[in-house]
Structure 1
Amino acid sequence: MKLKILFYSLMLSGALCVPETGYAQKEPDEIALANTEFENNFYEALKQKGIENYDKAIQSLQKCLSHQPDNAVIYNELGKNYLALKQYGDAENAFKKATTLDASNRWYWQGLYDVYYEIKDFNKAIPIVQKLMEWRKDYYQEDLVSLYMYTYQYDKALALIEEMDETVGISDKREMYKEQILSLEKYSQPKKEMLEEAIKKNPKEESNYLELIYLYSESNQEEKAQEVAKKLEKEIPGSDWAQVSLFKFHLNNNEGDKASEAMLRILGSPKIDSKIKHRVLNEFLIFTNNNPQYNSSLAKAVTYFKDDATVNVPKEVGKFFFSKQKYDQAAVYFEKGLQQKSDDIEGVELLLYSYEGANQNQQLWDSANKYIDYYPLQASLYCFAGVGANRLGQFKKAKEVLETGMEYVVEDPELEAKLNRELGEAYGGLGDQKKKELYFTKAKELLKSKIN
């Protein structure tokens, strides 16, 4: 039924109309018969294409052409079917014929572009995309940039990228292309010289410094980039962007105090993008791992992200230290993370793991019990509480909380094994060696079954 509706809509729009001159000398009955055959064949072609019988669809479309040899719609449909069959030469010819008959229909050009893109004939694709830009310039410009890159036409690509940066804004993909182009000496060296001259003429224009720092960094001329960053800081002392470059240089030179100062300037700047701030924090975190004397600077840096709705920064910092088995430091940041998001059960468990790893047994016992009140069905919390109680020598409390936790274990042999082992510890502390061995044996069997 939908295909019938499509057919009649094409008829009404004039796309499938039979030219009057073609039947000027024919009887009305002959014209009606021709129209009926045309309609049936076109309907059959759409039906066969819909069920992916492309060969049969083509046969029906060829019959349509015998009635209307200059119908662009038929050639467009032929192109689609040939393309589906990967008969690219036939598809190209069909779409070309459609565009010749009706150059005003965007979709005929789109079909031709699809053929060239499929066979990776990007040189042929370029003029087609330029034609398609008459309908949707902003959309097809992105394709044109890529086509210029694929065909090594870097001058044209760079010019179009700069035009689009001005008109539609910067995109990650175009920035990547721009980096590739400017990494070539042919493009970067003249640009560097031009920017150096521009800085001499107007030393208060910040953007020239930033672009030059970027170019030097991309070509691994770090000393040159640092010189430019220092010039920027001298000429424009309030420039936060200068600190982005200087921060990296200070880290590389192991100048922790200067790096800390630059980092805090960056994090406090409303001008600098959050992605850059996250990257700076991450680099300082790695630096602090090897230079723990800067832990206080790291803690201060984390406070700048307290209103970040996208990432729980303290929690992520905690995960970093947790992965390094620095459990006492991890616990500090997991606590801060839970202050930002108190209903984070993963954060709760990571905090309790950290207390356990750092042997902070009183905190482990107190916190586990606190969170049991919030999550009474979470078996792992009872296990943490049991570990804390056992380590504090409170074996009766451990036994009670662990036995309660057993009731909530669901298909988790590892957790069940740990509960049994801790129960064994509790009974051992209470002087019941028989039950101690019983629970230890259960724990071993559970772990063994998990391995098998």
Structure 2
Amino acid sequence: MFFFFFFIQSKAQDSIPAAKDLTEEKELKFQQFFFKALSQKSIGNYQKAIENLENCNQILPNDLTVFYEFSKNYLELNNTLLAKEYINRAIEKDAKNIWMQKHLVKVFVKERSFSEAIKIQQKVVALNLKERDYLAKLYLQNRDYKNALYIMNALEKDNSLSSNLKRIKESLEKSKKPIVKRQEVIQDVFKRFETDKSYAVLKQILEASKEESAKLLKYSGEGISLFPAQPFVYLMNGKALNANKDYKKALESLKNGIDFVIEDAMEADFYNEMATSFKGLGNTSEEKKYREKSKKLKK
């Protein structure tokens, strides 16, 4: 956080104008541009925010907080190349800043570079053990179930395993990798699922069952057990529960699944379905909030 110091000249020398304190003038300008940047970012004007940050950088070059803000705005604009460049510059100046390290993780996740995200998240965990929960989720997204289970077991021993991860852990421990033989003749997708319990087949079933809530509820529930780190099955489960007017359970399922979402389009779908849940529960303010979040991601 920046602290701006203002100096006031206590005496004027007769009629001779007091010389301007250039340091104070620069600090005032820097402050103005910096808070304009924060204001523009808060309303989604990321390019305008960057323009104000460029003015800050001219006044005070190579400031780590300006670099940090550059990175956050470029990430919002999906420019991960510049987002990485600026956050790395900031981290060079303060390698133990956990917030900047966490932001770099977000950049790698946006790129779907889970292996790189995991490396940085390990540094975050070294700074704060409470961040192990997200490390486990990254391992799951990277389909590294062995290391995910290792972290989840450690969290469980410390009584700090979240309910969502606990359920995923139980599913992983119960599941056995099926030996799948591809049938040479293309059969009905529902029939195929009896012998081919792959995610590809399940996804086809869920897509085909969107308008049949009973089937969607059945297969999405089974999908959560088989593929606990696939967000699409939670989305379809929430959709089915909403169709059955079981809004509370729908919201719970959607909140569990959104942790695994990477793509903006799917995140928007989650928010839209959550808005439906809140509408069913009579919570109009939350409904409006999540509809807006969905629309923002679809722009």
TM-score w.r.t. the length of structure 1 is: 0.33
Greater relative contact order (CA < 8 Å, ≥ 6 in sequence): 2
Compare the two structures and name the one with the higher helix fraction.
Answer: 1
TM-score (norm 2): 0.48
